[in-house]
Structure 1
Amino acid sequence: MTPSLQPDVEMRIDLVDHDQYATAGMPHEQFTWLRANAPVYWHHGDDEKGWPGFWAVMKHADVVHISRHSDLFSSWRRLALFPEVPDEALELQRLMMLNQDPPEHTRRRSLVNRGFTPRAIGTLEEHIREICENLIDEALAKPELDFVRDIAAPLPLYVICELLGAPTEDRHQLFEWSNQMIGADDPDYAAAADAPAAAAQVYAYANRLAAERRERPRNDIVTKLLQPDENGDVLDENEFNVFVMLLVVAGNETTRNAASGGMLAFFEHPDQWARLVADPSLSESAAEEIVRWVCPVNLFRRTATRDTEIRGQKIREGDKVVVFYGSANRDEDVFDNPFAFDIGRNPNPHIGFGGGGAHFCLGNHLAKLELRVLFETLARRMPTLHQTGEARRLRSYFVNGIKSLPVGV
């Protein structure tokens, strides 16, 4: 249902209040008002929290424009995540592809992309299907079910272990490291959250994997990425370690929260669940609609490299510019009836994997495959799946996450 707002009513805008995301999910009333009244909006800063004012960009076309012009809107200057980072920490963070601009980003991405082509990912389908079947077998044998704990969280972790050629029992440790790096603002995770320590442990883990593959190569992504490409270029030790960290975090968080948010969307729209149960072949378009609807990653930050303009607003060099995918994916100028969850939506030009350009999600083929197979299997194996308790959301303006979703069969 479209949020209803009076056009002459001034909306209180705070797009980075963790608590509102924890209690109500994305602030779609604010997003809707801004798209109509101030689509490129100067958002107040917060001196106590240590971040300056920024441009909040709400419309689909503008998010795409910024995404496709890394020369104008840099990920490297002040990094891609919203929080401010001390100058002395910038160089280490810039080793991450997420925080690079072309041409360095292009070189790194071309090396890593060898393991993420549609052909390479397609070879995983049978194994992903087996994982989904086993997860459902295990879930059906439990007296109490939580969709996040028992299905959505384990799936990408098993797949990551498969990609890395790591023992499946390592998935629990990967899950803990990921939560430590993402969950610092959530009370359930804050006590254990220590992003630098978790990152150091992931780097050490990556080093062990690399040493094993150099000694005993296998037919897996780690072995492939440690070998030179056709030009003789190769990832160095730091680059490989950072890649593993990105895979552990991004490859886990995004798929886990898309699956959880997608299941919650089906509970809130039972007609669409009935539609999928009646025709599981809709799982492919359902996966796309789930990504649009949930938008597992809400925002990223860029920094203007020179003076420019968007919709008449003058952006100065050095200004902080934040794109909101959660808003862009409800843009009335792009999507018919954008507040309808429609698993047959076609066309569906969502930007849940980014707005194109250099930073378009490297793992988009893998995420869509996991979601397609999972929901196709759920519709067939658990057609009477239903919600039995309240969903608990992650306290985060960055990741649109669900921590717990009690279900029954």
Structure 2
Amino acid sequence: MAVDLITPTLYETQGFPDEDLRRLRRESPVHWHEDPSSDVPGFWAVTRYDDIVHVSRHPELFSSHARTSMFEEFADEDVALYRLMMLFMDPPQHTRQRAFVNRGFTPRMIKQLEEHIRDVGHRLIDNVVTRGEACFVRDIAAPFPLYVICELIGAPVEDREQIFAWSNVLVGSNDPDFATSPEDAREVSAQVLQYAHELAARRRRQPRDDIATSLLEPDADGNRLSADEFAMFILLLIIAGNETTRNGASGGMLAFFQHPEQWRRLVRNRGLIKTTADEVVRWVSPVNLFRRTAMRDTELRGRRIRGGDKVVMFYSSANRDEDVFEDPYTFDIGRDPNPHLGFGGGGPHFCLGTHLARLELAVLFELLLDRMPDIRQAGEARRLRSNFINGIKEMPVRFTPSERVNRTSFI
């Protein structure tokens, strides 16, 4: 079966390759896919919901550590560095580090952030609301989660644009607007790690009520994160802590433009905010894929997978699986239950920031209802050229101008 799920330009022009994914779910749900690059090994494309859950929940069979969780093939020295990041660990190492950071991301801790998140949203809207037009991505969706993350780690206001630029490079390497060489990407990673080490030094001298400070404190047994582990977590937080909300918000707004009856439904019934965030994440699937490496010979849906094989999970496909979702091609903000895999397939790597992302999306769409109820698309939505992130990098919008709410604008 000839399919192409990888060429980044496909995603730039159409979003994820839905027809090919639907065909694979039906005819070859665990499918050997040759890589378009002749010097890169092929892989098993896993496209059904239940199979992705199985792979996610069996790290002893399908490792994040062996060759990282990323689709790209990294040099051995880069793999050794990336293995210090929690995203690229397996239990028990992952379990230990996750226990450190979980304490900053409990539902109770995230709920305490609601007013701050709301204030961030108001300030961003204040920056554009009198104009009656904006770029939804650049002016609202992109800075919104980034500013929240910067506040969580105690980053100064003047550092936010630099952190934003770093995050764009690290997730958009295939896009012509952000593209860099592997050497440049390594340099950006090194800059973020240096920044994290400097942040740690400041927090040791001047502790604050933020996640950075809490991560540097010992646990109940007196254990601490190493300096490198802390720095790698900050690198992960800057990327992962911002991408789901950034692309969920912009992709969700585009979904509302394409399905205006759902926006009118939300205007009439604010109670649907409770289920809107999850349907947006299901529909958009902000992270398209992650990779695992088979640790030994095994079988999945009758296909023999050999030890060392590359196994790639396509969340965008699982979130349209007809065996799990009724009318999966309907954008339905009242969908309940909604067991989507937009935050991962369970297991040790279930998204740490799930509660934060849900709260951010719910707050943002509520503020848009309040302050830009007639928001409408005013030009083409330009997609990111990436098979990893289902992102939008530009989307002009218009709305009826209104007054600021007297909050101080961000610098």
- TM-score, L = length of structure 2: 0.95
Alpha-carbon RMSD across the aligned residues, in angstroms, is 1.2
For structure 2, the residue ranges without an aligned partner over 5 or more in a row are 400-411
Picking from 274, 279, 287, the partner of 1:297 is 287
**Are 2:269 and 1:279 equivalent residues in the alignment?**
yes
Tell whether the 8 Å contact from 1:387 to 1:406 is kept in structure 2 after alignment.
yes
Contact (CA 8 Å) 2:169, 2:180: kept in 1 or not?
Answer: no
1:366-392: CA deviations, max 9, x gaps?
A: 111100100111112111000010000
Distance 1:253 1:234 in 2: 28
Deviation per CA, 1:191-211: give whole Å up to 9, x if none. 588211111111111111111
Measured against aligned partners, the alpha-carbon deviations of 1:135-160 in whole angstroms (never above 9, x if no partner) come to 11222123641000111011011101
Instruction: Give the distance between the partners of 2:395 and 2:33, measured in 1 at CA.
Output: 33
- Counterpart in 1 of 2:108? 119
The structure 2 residue matched to 1:309, chosen from 299, 315, 339, is: 299
Q: Please point out which of 386, 398, 405 is paired with 1:408.
A: 398
The aligned counterpart of 1:161 is: 150
CA contact (8 A) 1:392 1:404 kept: yes
Give the letter aligned to residue 169 of structure 2: Q
Q: Which amino acid aligns with 2:265?
A: R
Q: How far 1:47 moved relative to its partner?
A: 4.3
Q: Which amino acid aligns with 2:216?
A: L
Quote the offset at 1:181 in angstroms. 1.2
Q: Percent identity?
A: 61
In structure 1, the partner of 2:84 is 95
> What residue is the counterpart of 1:226 in the other structure?
216
Aligned residue pairs total 398
Query: What does residue 26 of structure 1 align with?
Result: 16
> Deviation at 1:220?
1.1
**In structure 2, what is the equivalent of residue 72 of structure 1?**
61
Query: Aligned equivalents of 2:99 and 2:360: distance in 1?
Result: 23
Deviates more, 1:388-397 or 1:107-116: 107-116
1:329–1:350 Cα contact (<8 Å) kept: yes
Tell me, yes or no, if the aligned pair for 1:116 and 1:366 is still in contact at 8 Å: yes
Contact 1:148 1:403 in 2 (8 A): yes
- Is 1:189 equivalent to 2:186 in the alignment? no
Q: Does 1:261 align with 2:258?
A: no
Matched, 1:139 2:128: yes
Report the Cα distance in structure 2 between the residues aligned to 1:87 and 1:188, rounded to whole angstroms. 28
Equivalent position to 2:159, from 165, 170, 173: 170
Q: 237, 247, 269: which one pairs with 1:247?
A: 237
Measure, in 1, the Cα distance between the counterparts of 2:116 and 2:37.
Answer: 49
Instruction: Look up the match of 2:408.
Output: none
Q: Kindly indicate whether residue 206 of structure 2 is the aligned counterpart of residue 216 of structure 1.
A: yes
Contact 2:30–2:46, Cα closer than 8 Å, also in 1: yes
Q: For residues 376 and 60 of structure 1, what CA distance do their matches in structure 2 show?
A: 31
What is the TM-score of this pair, normalised by structure 1?
0.95
Q: Give the Cα separation in 1 of the matches to 2:271 and 2:361.
A: 13
Q: Could you tell me which residue of structure 1 aligns to residue 71 of structure 2?
A: 82
How many angstroms apart in 1 are the aligned matches of 2:180 and 2:291?
A: 27
Q: Which amino acid aligns with 1:354?
A: G
CA distance in structure 1 between the aligned counterparts of 2:382 and 2:304, rounded to whole angstroms: 40
Secondary structure of the residue aligned to 1:20 is helix
Cα distance in 2 for residues equivalent to 1:66 and 1:114: 26
